[in-house]
Chains A and B, each alone.
Chain A
Amino acid sequence: EAGVAQSPRYKIIEKRQSVAFWCNPISGHATLYWYQQILGQGPKLLIQFQNNGVVDDSQLPKDRFSAERLKGVDSTLKIQPAKLEDSAVYLCASSLVGGRTPYEQYFGPGTRLTVT
């Protein structure tokens, strides 16, 4: 079974530029998460989708961050314009809906963003 795919793996941009990250979850996983992990910290949830609907985006800085999951499969996270403090690893995870294991999330390798 293929894991969660993310691209690109690395991205370097200047502040005020835009950037987009892509995620393809495990086949059949209806729930998709985007996390921000700043160096030395645990991942912080930015947004959670179930199918193509948003379940939670309370910690997403909506003035500059946006995310979509139009067909309930792939997802894109965008930052526009980027700030220096957005330098972090952006992780995507997916999980099944319902049953005993709805919280067992499986992560992709992440995209390391450096804003200069």
Chain B
Amino acid sequence: GQQLNQSPQSMFIQEGEDVSMNCTSSSIFNTWLWYKQDPGEGPVLLIALYKAGELTSNGRLTAQFGITRKDSFLNISASIPSDVGIYFCAGPATGNQFYFGTGTSLTVIP
């Protein structure tokens, strides 16, 4: 099946630093979604992207839909302790079957 690869797999950063992570696929996606999952909870939708090249912000979070439509990027500015969690990219592949990425685990050190 479709594989969405996320990198890095994990990150350890100091509070206040900026964070960048990305997601790549082997096939074209027409929608990219970014989710955050806290321990013991379901994923929470952060940002949705619907157009190649689109740049969308949600507070300190900014996500971009790659021009090739095979990748997407998420940036977090001025990280805070509550940013800790696992970040997933996701989207519908051709045929509309929905896939999630492998996840990036973020740890923020106060």
Q: Which residues of A contact B (CB under 8 A)?
A: 4, 33, 35, 41-45, 48, 55-56, 58-59, 91, 93, 100-101, 103-110
Instruction: Evaluate contact between B102 and A41: CB separation under 8 angstroms.
Output: yes
A103-B92, A103-B98 are known contacts. Are A91 and B48 too (CB-CB below 8 A)?
A: no
Indicate if B101 sits at the interface (CB-CB under 8 A): yes
With the chains together, A101 CA to B33 CA distance in Å? 11
A sample of 22 inter-chain contacts (CB < 8 A) reads A35-B100, A42-B4, A42-B102, A42-B103, A43-B43, A43-B100, A45-B97, A45-B99, A48-B98, A56-B97, A59-B1, A59-B97, A91-B43, A103-B31, A103-B48, A103-B98, A105-B45, A107-B43, A108-B42, A109-B40, A109-B41, A110-B41
With the chains together, A5 CA to B93 CA distance in Å? 27
A44-B100, A56-B96, A58-B97 are known contacts. Are A93 and B91 too (CB-CB below 8 A)?
A: no
A108: which B residues are within 8 A, CB to CB?
42
